[in-house]
């Protein structure tokens, strides 16, 4: 579908940013000694978080003491290191511990922020239930296929692509038995004369509407569609098997740790398959269309449990649970985040539209009724007799709603596919890329 002079309708205000922030993630190749140091540093970071959280919880419950600012928390680090109980914190680099306190400060600020109602008070970080990671804001160095980590040394990594921009910080994180480095970069876009500039105009001149579904992962407004990957569904039997074997092991024994590694590897495979599929698909869509129109879905509400309470038990609980599992397995929220930042980087735009009645409105006569869609896939207009696949009808109406927003000048990038931030398991799926 062609929209003439589509570049004239792209909101240039969202393209005024000349700074491109991106993370480049690579798998590390540490020696056994280096891997042991990384595990210790991650443990020290977790311990510093818990110490600071304990202090803040104590002050929060007190009527006479106020909670500490970040600078006041960092002043406690030297005191903790001097005590016999916490002296092992000296082994970790000081910046790693400081960054842990900074993360705690941001978490507490988010819990008090009325604009982030989903944020909760931070919790304790447990050894076997939290992500093992630590961050360096400075002092690191990158030399081709190796990275220098203070107090650890030079560590090789698999360089799968070139690093663009100036490295600002690096994060070392463990997924299962593997360690990864994520290099956060900052790239200022400049023209031939060295002046700061906006992203170049999009190469294409097309607009597309997208309708998300469970049977069809994605349906385009031109009638094409993408099949769901269902990485979790395909691996569910194997995952259940290794989890049953884990439940029979003595907790924290050597056999339990080995089996825990198998569970982590199963989760990691599921996450990698999903992540790879969504990255490739979002790249193709953002490259081939200047404007992408999507439904502004509230995934939290869509995936709420139907079990209800003891007084008011829910209905169709098993069916709703299966639907929730399918939605979360397909990664709608992750896919929306990828489309958002990739469209902006390529000079395009993502237009969220209200999702109400998109699959119940006839695209020919605009008659809206629940009777138009009596089944999941079939759409038959009760007024004019128009027939089509219901997902295709939804995609057509999403594109038309996007056109209306463009013409009306409402092209702001509102929150796309709102979803609660999930705690990432040790080998769980990656989060939404930072824009």
Asked if 100 and 48 count as a contact pair (C-beta separation under 8 A), the reply is yes
For residues 125 and 87, the answer to whether their CB atoms sit within 8 Å is no
Of the listed ranges 119-133, 397-411, 416-430, the least confidently predicted one is 416-430
pTM above 0.85, yes or no: no
Rounded distance between C-alpha atoms, residue 49 and residue 98, angstroms: 9
Lowest-confidence segment of 367-376, 394-403, 418-427 by average pLDDT: 418-427
In this predicted structure, the answer to whether residue 72 has a pLDDT above a threshold of 80 is yes
SS3 419: coil
Distance CA 275, CA 323 (A): 20
pLDDT at 313: 67
**Percentage with pLDDT > 90 across the chain:** 63
8 A C-beta contact, residue 161 and residue 182: no
CA–CA dist 123, 127 (Å, integer) = 13
Active site residues: 211, 295, 391
Tell me which residue has tokens 């003439």.
4
How far is 228 from 218, CA to CA, in rounded Å? 8
> pLDDT averaged over the chain?
86
Q: Which are the contacts of 259, defined by CB distance < 8 A and separation ≥ 6? A: 242, 245, 246, 249
How many other β-carbons are positioned within 10 Å of the β-carbon of residue 302? 15
Cα→Cα distances 249→130, 242, 244, 264, 331, Å: 21, 11, 9, 15, 32
Flag the least confident range among 74-83, 198-207, 259-268, 273-282.
198-207
pLDDT value of position 306: 66
27 or 205, which is more confident: 27
With a cut of 70, say whether residue 63 has pLDDT above it: yes
Give the per-residue pLDDT at 299: 79
pLDDT attached to residue 177: 86
Looking at residue 422, what is its pLDDT? 34
Q: DSSP for 49-111?
A: HHHHHHHHHHHHH-SS-PPPPHHHHHHHHHHHHHSSTTGGGGGS-HHHHHHHHHHHHHHHHHH
Specify the range with the lowest mean pLDDT, choosing from 200-209, 261-270, 327-336, 421-430.
421-430
Q: What confidence category does residue 414 fall into, taking pLDDT thresholds of 50, 70 and 90?
A: very low
Q: Which helix (H) or strand (E) holds 219?
A: strand 218-220
Matching residue, tokens 């970069």: 185
Q: What does the DSSP assignment read for 265-330?
A: HHHHHHHHHHHHHHHHHHHHHHHH-SEEEEE--BHHHHT----B-SSSB-SSHHHHHHHHHHHHHH
Q: What is the mean pLDDT of residues 26-34?
A: 97
H helix and E strand count, the chain: 9, 14
- Let me know if 340 is exposed, middle or buried by CB neighbors in 10 A (0-12, 13-18, 19+): buried
Q: CA 421 to CA 221: how far, in whole Å? A: 30
More confidently predicted of 263 and 13: 263
d(CA 373, CA 390): 7
Specify the residue for token string 């960054």.
Answer: 99
pLDDT at 117: 85
Q: Is 119 helix (H, G, I), strand (E, B) or coil?
A: coil
């Amino acid at each position: 579908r062609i929209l003439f002079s589509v570049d004239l309708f792209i909101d240039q205000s969202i393209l005024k940013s000349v700074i491109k922030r991106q993370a480049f993630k690579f798998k590390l190749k540490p020696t056994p000694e280096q891997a042991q140091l990384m595990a210790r540093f991650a443990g020290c970071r977790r311990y510093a978080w818990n110490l600071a959280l304990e202090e803040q919880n104590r002050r929060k419950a007190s009527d006479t003491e106020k909670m500490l600012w970040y600078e006041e928390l960092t002043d406690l680090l030297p005191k903790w290191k001097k005590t016999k109980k916490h002296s092992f914190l000296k082994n970790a680099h000081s910046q790693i511990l400081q960054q842990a306190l900074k993360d705690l400060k941001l978490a507490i600020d988010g819990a008090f922020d009325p604009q982030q109602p989903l944020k909760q008070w931070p919790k304790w970080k447990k050894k076997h239930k939290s992500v093992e990671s630590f961050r360096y804001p400075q002092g690191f160095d990158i030399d081709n296929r190796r990275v220098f980590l203070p107090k650890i040394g030079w560590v090789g990594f698999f360089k799968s692509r070139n690093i663009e921009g100036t490295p600002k910080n690096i994060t070392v994180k463990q997924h299962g038995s593997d360690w990864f480095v994520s290099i956060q970069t900052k790239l200022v876009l400049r023209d031939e004369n060295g002046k700061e500039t906006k992203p170049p105009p999009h190469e294409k001149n097309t607009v597309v509407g997208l309708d998300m579904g469970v049977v069809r992962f994605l349906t385009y407004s031109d009638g094409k569609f993408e099949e769901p990957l269902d990485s979790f569904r395909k691996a569910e039997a194997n995952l259940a098997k290794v989890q049953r074997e884990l439940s029979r092991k003595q907790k924290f024994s050597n056999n339990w740790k080995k089996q825990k590694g198998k569970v982590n590897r199963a989760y990691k495979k599921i996450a990698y398959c999903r992540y790879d599929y969504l990255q490739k698909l979002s790249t193709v869509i953002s490259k081939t269309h200047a404007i992408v129109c999507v439904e502004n879905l509230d995934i939290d509400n869509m995936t709420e449990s139907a079990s209800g309470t003891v007084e008011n038990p829910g209905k169709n609980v098993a069916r709703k649970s299966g639907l929730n599992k399918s939605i979360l397995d397909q990664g709608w929220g992750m896919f929306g985040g990828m489309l958002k930042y990739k469209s902006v980087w390529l000079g395009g735009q993502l237009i969220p539209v209200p999702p109400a009645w998109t699959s119940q409105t006839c695209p020919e006569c605009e008659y809206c009724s629940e009777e138009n869609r009596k089944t999941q896939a079939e759409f038959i207009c009760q007024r004019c007799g128009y027939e089509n696949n219901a997902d295709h009808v939804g995609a057509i109406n999403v594109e038309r709603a996007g056109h209306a927003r463009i013409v009306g000048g409402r092209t702001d990038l509102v929150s796309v596919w709102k979803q609660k931030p999930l705690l990432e398991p040790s080998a769980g799926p990656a989060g939404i890329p930072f824009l």
